[in-house]
Amino acid sequence: MSLTIIAIILSAALLHAVWNAIVKSAVDRTTTLGLVAFGHVLPGAVMVAVLPLPSAESFVYIALSTVVHFGYFYLLGRAYQHGDLSVVYPIARGIVPALVSLWAWLLLGEVLPPPVWIGIGLIVAGILLSSWTSLRTGVGKSALVLSLATGFCISIYSLVDGIGVRLSGNTLSYWAWGAFLHLFIAGFAGWLRRRTLVQLPVRIWVTGIAGGMVSMTAYGLVLYAKNFAPLGAVSALRETSVIFATLIGFFVLKEGNWQRRLGAAVLMTFGIAVIGRYA
């Protein structure tokens, strides 16, 4: 895997952690997630208007991805109601690299060499270490189940979009339509909060929509990388967003301790190096 692709995926990981921190710090997460989804729709609509259509066969994957993203947004919001960012995020993201690698092997025949599996294992170990105290002392049943379900959704849409973007013939067009169809997610959240939306301060609107644009940018970078690298390796590198999230949790949200996070960062760095060398 080239250094350019690694840098693109790590940039996406940082951006992804930022928007999750925005959601976690929000008072009303349903409203914020709806605004985040709306932050996809606005630039997506502009791009859809000016870009050519992706291939017809890729629209099946765009539609399926939209449905799975709906479940992902719903479960993520519920998970953050029951657990801290530095607990929910690592659990949800921690199971994804192995699941995506498994799906890609079973369905696409992508066979990763043993060193890449070692790299994935190091990243997963770093993810778990980043929240070891919380995991050791016990995670609430609701937070655990919702976090695992969120991770399962992530693995499914990662696979779906990995296939879809490769069939699309145009990464930008696939990205644009996927973003634009977040309209259904934003619309559902808006309907649930229809009585309070007009009363929201401008600051919350701006924060939520900006978070959505950050999220959209992060996923666009990942979609691009999926054209050039195995899906399991891309997923593993993307999940280094966990270390960014736990650092944000520590410095901004005052969650956890820096020694454990440093150890997690070291493990993930070794994992990144191994994947970059052998993927």
pLDDT in tens, 157-212: 999 999 999 999 999 999 999 999 999 999 998 998 888 888 888 888 888 899 89
Confidence band of 263 (pLDDT split at 50, 70, 90): confident
Q: How far is CA 96 from the centre of its chain?
A: 10
- 46 to 42, 50, 51, 64, 176: CA distances (angstroms): 7, 7, 9, 22, 8
Confidence band of 139 (pLDDT split at 50, 70, 90): low
Is-contact 14 245, C-beta < 8 A? no
Contacts of 262 (CB under 8 A, 6+ apart): none
Checking if the pLDDT of 10 tops 80, the result is yes
Checking if the pLDDT of 50 tops 90, the result is yes
What is the pTM for the complete model shown? Answer: 0.82
Confidence band of 27 (pLDDT split at 50, 70, 90): low
